[in-house]
Each structure stands twice: as structure tokens, then as C-alpha cells.
Amino acid sequence: MITIDLLRHGALEGGIKYRGKVDDPLTSGGRLAMDQVWQQLCADVDDIITSPLSRCATPAGTWSAQSGIGCMIEPRLAEIDYGVWEGKTMATIQREYPGMLERWRADPTGMRPPGGESPEELRARLADWWNEARVQFEGKHILVVAHSGSLRMLIALLLNQPIAYTRSIDMPYACLHRLIYQDGNTRLVGVNNPGNL
């Protein structure tokens, strides 16, 4: 059995934009919200696995140093690459690519942000990681610190749901989802949505 806690990073400087590779820093409130979730988990977690982007890796590294819990940086957990959408607001993308963002937000299956990564490619790299992780972390309670796009896709993957399912998952900043993996099956057992702090 593996207990899998999935924590999205907190709010970022510069407001809401499409950021995959763009690595804007956390706001003070965004970091505080993540720290508050960590305080609820730290007594139970065996290992931390984090996206390499600083909005995830910096808090995760601090928690590891403070607690002595191991922290692994995992590039396959990084956010989807948004290509030319990187760093742009929703309004800008809607103006520059009429209708495309609306289709993407409804169901991104078979789509790709121009110059970016497809959801199928994101799912494939997450599946590659999970095939290793489910063996490596057997019997453990792990905390995965990553992004809205990658964590939604990971939930869909573990629950054997299609890519379109990702659009039905609510995941505000510093949100925590808990899954239990056992005997080849995964259950979603808890969601904590603290809101956009």
C-alpha cells in the first residue's frame, strides 16, 4: 500500500498566468499556505518527491532539511510545457488564439499549445514515473509537490480515467489530494481545498 499526498504549489507573483517552464516565485501568502499544509502532514510523511521548479522544490527542500525526511527532485513531475502560451494571461491567449483556449479548457485531448507539450505526452512521462514509484515507495506515505496540470493528470492516470477527466478536478493553490494505492487499485480518499491564499 502507498499513501500518496498530492500538494499543488501556492499562489505566484504576477497573478494568474499559464506557467509551465516559467518559474515565477511564490507570494508570501502562497508559501505560507504550503507551509500550513506541510505542518499537518509532516509527522506522517516518509518521503517528499517534488517538481524541479522552484515554486515546488524550494519549500520541499526546506521541509526536508527541517525534518530530516528525504526529498527527491523528479523532472517528470514538472508542469506541462505551454509553449507560446508561457507567461501569458488567459485574456491574452484568448485574444491571440481565438477559440483554442476554450477548447483546451473543455477537453485538451488531442490538442497541443503551439510549440508546447500535448496532454498525451504529459501523461506518458507521469506514467513512466509512476511505474517506478509504485515499486520504490511500496509501504510508504509520500508527498508529491507539483502543479495543477501535472497533478490533475496524475490523478486521472492513477484512477484509470481519460484525459478529459482532468477538467473535472478542482485544484486551487495549496490544495491537497490524498490517494491510496493498494493491490493495483487506487482510491481518492480526501481533498482539502484551502482556497487561493
What stretches of 42-87 show up as alpha helix (H) in DSSP? 54-67
* Residue 8 phi, psi (nearest 5): -80, 145
How far, in Å, CA of 80 to CA of 124, rounded? 12
Pairing of strands 2-8, 141-146: parallel
- pLDDT score, position 192: 82
Annotated domain spans of the chain: 9-43+77-192
Question: Given the DSSP bridges, would you call strands 70-73 and 185-192 parallel, antiparallel or unpaired?
Answer: unpaired
In angstroms, the CA 29 to CA 194 distance is 12
Whole-angstrom Cα distance, residue 122 to residue 81? 9
Q: Specify the pairing of strand 185-192 against strand 141-146.
A: unpaired
Output the CATH code of domain 9-43+77-192. Answer: 3.40.50.1240
Sign of CA dihedral 54, 41, 152, 157: positive
pLDDT, tens digit (0-9, with 9 covering 90-100), for 104-158: 999 999 999 999 999 999 999 999 999 999 999 999 999 999 999 999 999 999 9
> Is 181 in contact with 1 (CB distance < 8 Å)?
yes
Question: What's the whole-number mean pLDDT along residues 24-39?
Answer: 96
pLDDT given for residue 194 in this prediction: 59
Decide if 137 contacts 130 (C-beta within 8 A): no
Tell whether the model's pLDDT for residue 195 goes beyond 70.
no
CB 37 within 8 A of CB 176: yes
> Measuring CA to CA, which residue among 181, 185, 186, 155 is closest to residue 168?
155
Average pLDDT of span 3-30: 96
User: Residue 23 pLDDT more than 70?
Assistant: yes
